[in-house]
Amino acid sequence: MNWANEVAKRKEFIINDLVKFIQIPSVLNEDTSTEKQPFGKDIDDSLNFMLNLAERDGFTTRNIDGYAAHIEYGEGSDLVGVLCHVDVVPEGDDWTVSAFGGDIIDGKIYGRGTQDDKGPTIAAYYAMQIIKDLNLKLSKRVRIILGTDEESQWRCVDKYFEVEEKPSIGFAPDAEFPMINAEKGITDFYFLKEQKEAQIISFESGNRLNMVPDTAVAQIECESDSIEEMADDFANYLEENGLEGYFSVNENILSFNLKGISAHGSMPDVGVNAALYLCAFLSKHYKSDIMEFLGDICLNDYTGKKLGLEMSDSESGDLTVNIGRVTYNSKNGWNIGFNVRYPVTKKYEEVKKRIEKAADTNGFRLSGENNSNPHFLPSDSELVTILSKVYEEQTGEKATLLSTGGGTYARALGNAVAYGALFPGDEELYHQKDEYIKIDSLLKATAIYAQSIYELAK
């Protein structure tokens, strides 16, 4: 079977359908949500767009109250699942083309969702369509499952798997090739201390635990006349550390504002944590054991070494620690929010024990723990073996397995990996301006998915 040829015959359809799909601005909008359109009209339109293609082409479909849907083909008791999503993140700023235009320039289709995840969704859809067109015999059923809330809370897959069967094997075309078979465990928790500081009025930094905070603001009561000295010290500190920020005085209240660099919580070393840098400065001038803890022990401790959390494995690398939110006020005291990603071969119980010990050692009360276990398929598992073989046949490249600290859609599917559609060397533009997919990559991914679905379901 020459899969690439079959894809080439359908090239115009694939491109046209992706362009129309991109033109639906399917961003979460709960203002327009109804019982049958839980995430708003635009997301529902994009779900129906895919279901209309499926009906046009004669597939069986089911829509689960607008939360999710599937497109099914084949027969048998076993089920192969391909999990995609039709929602996109907001366009953001600074696009040089229309974010929802679907413009084609120099062999690239531009628009929000071309990489994440509408391009890969269309590729997976046409992969299944090719198998149906060619009347290939399958011994299993195949479902393309369409999520609608992947970019927010995954309420779509939660609802879907409450009422529908879980596939026995599958993949999620929502990341990169060759494939991600190892996703770290993710745990969030808070260190609390209800103590009142002498001079600190408030401290506020960060919105989400899974992001490195890029601003921190502290208000301090000043008692001496050394304000100018403090302003100089702060300016010097910012300069020494290559940071930006400002300092202001109002009556006898000093405000410190420090800018860091945001990054995903799975890569704390890529960002600059504004909360920790501000604490490191303030703890030199105002006595606070908590600010000392944050500025001394936690600053740049990306692998949790000083916290006693350090662990790693060859499958997925180091445990990582991100402090995503730090707040203080005189009423509630300190609240420090952590996002920790631990290696795939480690158990949560072991991580939890160490977290409890770190809280205890440093005098905090631990609160709000929640955990998502690692997701890992060994390299010799049936799924990884089959998908590696397909990838290598189609590309001529070795299928080197990847790991991530992020959580991909594969973990919602169970016995599954994240598989494309971004190729090694392609520019990654998820959630960024001027997102595009190369038409060549789109077609190549379609061929890989067609053969993969066939091999898994034949």
Residues belonging to the active site: 87, 150
DSSP assignment of 29-86 equals: -GGG--SS-TT-HHHHHHHHHHHHHHHHTT-EEEEETTTEEEEEEE-SS-EEEEEEE-
| Interface with Zn ion (CB under 5 A), residue from 17, 44, 91, 117 | 117
Query: Looking at this protein, which amino acid is placed at residue 420?
Result: G
**Total residues at interface with Zn ion (CB under 5 A):** 3
174 versus 318: smaller Cβ distance to Zn ion: 174
Binding window for Zn ion (CB under 5 A); candidates: 112-120, 259-267, 270-278, 448-456: 112-120
87: contact with Zn ion by CB under 5 A: no
Q: Smallest distance, Å, CB 152 to Zn ion? A: 11
CB of 385 to Zn ion, least distance (A): 25
Taking contact as CB under 5 A, which single stretch among the options 40-48, 152-160, 167-175, 330-338 is the one that binds Zn ion? 167-175
Q: Using the 8-state DSSP alphabet, how is residue 270 labeled?
A: G
Q: Which stretch binds Zn ion (CB under 5 A): 110-118, 224-232, 274-282, 303-311?
A: 110-118
- Gap between the Cα atoms of 173 and 125, Å rounded: 11
Element of type H or E holding 425: none
Rounded CA-CA distance 268/25 in Å is: 31
Binding map of Zn ion across residues 168-207, x = CB under 5 A, - = no contact: ------x---------------------------------
Cβ closer to Zn ion: 319 or 422?
Answer: 422
d(CA 399, CA 152): 30
| Closest among 152, 118, 131 to 50, alpha carbons compared | 118
DSSP 290: H
DSSP state of 170: E
CB of 110 to Zn ion, least distance (A): 17
Residue with Cβ nearer Zn ion (183 or 313) = 183
Q: Specify the stretch interacting with Zn ion by CB under 5 A; choose among 46-54, 65-73, 113-121, 186-194.
A: 113-121
- Residue corresponding to tokens 């005098």: 363
Out of 42, 44, 87, 116, name the contact with Zn ion by CB under 5 A.
116
Question: Hey, what are 211's tokens?
Answer: 């992001």
Nearer to Zn ion, 156 or 383 (CB): 156
Give CA separation, 207 vs 2, 212, 320, in Å.
Answer: 50, 9, 19
What backbone torsions phi and psi does residue 99 show, to the nearest 5 degrees?
A: -70, -25
Phi-psi region of 113 (alpha: psi -120 to 50; beta: other; left: phi over 0): left
Q: Which is nearer to Zn ion, 117 or 197 (CB)?
A: 117
Compute the least distance from the CB of residue 186 to Zn ion, in Å: 16
| Secondary structure tally for the chain: helices H, strands E | 12, 24
338 membership: H or E segment, kind and range: strand 333-342
Contact window for Zn ion (CB under 5 A) among 94-102, 166-174, 267-275, 371-379: 166-174
Q: How far is CA 423 from CA 36, 110, 205, 390, in A?
A: 36, 17, 36, 14
For residue 419, the minimal CB distance to Zn ion (Å) is 13
CB of 408 to Zn ion, least distance (A): 8
CA triple 24-25-26, angle to 5 deg: 95
Of 17 and 116, the one with the shorter C-beta distance to Zn ion is: 116
Supply the minimum distance, in Å, between the C-beta of residue 117 and Zn ion: 4
Closer CB to Zn ion, 70 or 141, in the complex:
70
Which residues of the chain form contacts with Zn ion (CB under 5 A)? 116-117, 174
